[in-house]
Structure 1
Amino acid sequence: MDQIHLMKVLVAVGELQSFAGAARRLGISAAAVTRAIVALEQALGVKLLLRTTRSVRLTDAGSRYLEDSRNILASIDEANEAAAGINAAPQGNLAVTAPLLFGKAFVMPCIVDYLQAYPQVDVSAYFLDRVVNLVEEGMDVAVRIGPLPDSGLRALRVGQVRRLLCASPEYLEQHGVPAHPQALAAHTIITASGVSPQAQWRFGPAQAPTLVQVKPRLTVTSNDAAIVAASAGLGIARLLSYQVADELATGRLRVVLEAYEEAPWPIHVLHRESKYGSAKVRTFIDRLVEHLRAHRYLN
Structure 2
Amino acid sequence: MDSLSGFATVDVDVDGVRVHARTAGSGPPVLLLHGYPQTHVMWHRVAPVLAKRHTVVLADLRGYGDSDRPADEPGGAAGDAAGSSTHAAYSKRAMAADQVGLMRALGHERFAVVGHDRGARVTHRLCLDHPEAVTRAAVLDVAPTRHVLHHVDLALARTYEHWFFLSQENDLPERLIGSDPGGYLRAKLDAWSAVPGAFDEAALAEYVRCFSDPAVVHASCEDYRAAVTVDLALDDADAAAGRRVEAPLLVLWGARGFVGAAYDVEAVWQEYAADVTARSLDCGHFLPEEAPEATTTALLEFLTP
TM-score above 0.5: no
Category of TM-score, reference length = shorter chain: under 0.3
Q: Which has the higher strand share?
A: 1
**TM-score after normalising by structure 2:** 0.27
Q: Which has the higher helix share?
A: 2
**TM-score after normalising by structure 1:** 0.28
Give 1 or 2 for the bigger CA radius of gyration: 1
